[in-house]
């Protein structure tokens, strides 16, 4: 998808944001490559009075991609656009890019994507947003072993200490 069209989709998504506390509406549009062609999901930030429960536009868009796929499949995200429609025109690039939590989501779910940030002139790659991103090496499902806990083992260390009277 063309940069201009994807940024426009992110800007349109931002119009649906619920941001009564920060008054900083953000929209995101993510493009997934499928055998049938490209699919786009958009998202907007939704704030909560308990700030930790707020969800960002980027995470809404990425999570929406999973609903477009068969269960258990992971989307192949090729482009992501982010638009902060309430950012002042003279805002720095740092004021326009995703937050740290969203960058970590992008590192895991869209590591090869091209990123377009409204108001930032150049296209970005993940290392531009999150150098030295935290990553865990995942084993294929067939190689994952479930941890076995012997009956009573998980409490044994704590049981002795907690059963003593003081």
* Residues with catalytic function: 58
The whole-angstrom separation of Cα 50 and Cα 89 is: 29
CB 104 within 8 A of CB 130: yes
Q: Which of 112, 83, 107, 113 is nearest to 95 (CA)?
A: 83
CB 126 within 8 A of CB 133: yes
Residues 6+ positions from 51 with CB-CB distance below 8 Å: 21
CB 25 within 8 A of CB 84: yes
């Amino acid at each position: 998808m063309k940069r201009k069209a994807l940024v426009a989709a992110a800007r349109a998504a931002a119009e649906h944001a619920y941001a009564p506390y920060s008054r900083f509406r953000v929209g995101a549009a993510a493009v997934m490559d499928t055998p049938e062609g490209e699919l786009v999901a958009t998202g907007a930030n939704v704030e909560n009075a308990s700030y930790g429960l707020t969800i960002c536009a980027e995470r809404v868009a990425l999570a929406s991609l999973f609903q477009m796929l068969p269960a258990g499949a992971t989307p192949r995200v090729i482009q992501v656009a982010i638009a902060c429609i309430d950012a002042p025109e003279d805002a720095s690039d740092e004021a326009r890019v995703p937050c740290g939590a969203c960058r970590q989501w992008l590192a895991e779910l869209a590591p090869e994507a091209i990123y377009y940030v409204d108001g930032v002139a150049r296209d970005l790659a993940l290392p531009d947003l999150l150098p030295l991103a935290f990553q865990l090496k995942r084993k294929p499902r067939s190689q994952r072993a479930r941890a076995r806990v012997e009956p009573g083992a998980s409490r044994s260390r704590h049981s002795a200490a907690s059963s003593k009277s003081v």
